[in-house]
Amino acid sequence: MKATAFALLLFSCFLPSRGFAAQVYGTLRESGRPVPNVKVEVLCGSSTYSAVTDNYGSYRLFARETGKCTLRVTGNGKTGQTIIDSYTDPAHYDFDLIPQGSQYQLVRK
Ordered domains of the chain (ranges, CATH):
21-108 (2.60.40.10)
Q: Are 57 and 28 in contact (CB under 8 A)?
A: yes
Tens of pLDDT along the chain (109 residues)? 555 544 444 445 444 444 457 899 999 999 999 999 999 999 999 999 999 999 999 999 999 999 999 999 999 999 999 999 999 999 999 999 999 999 999 999 8
User: Which contacts of 102-105 are long-range, i.e. CB under 8 A and separated by 24 or more positions?
Assistant: 102/77, 102/78, 103/78, 103/79, 104/73, 104/78, 104/79, 104/80, 105/80
Query: Who contacts 11 (Cβ-Cβ below 8 Å, separation ≥6)?
Result: none
Residue in 108, 12, 18 with CA at minimum distance from that of residue 63: 18
> Can you give the pTM of this predicted structure?
0.79
Coil vs helix vs strand at 102:
coil
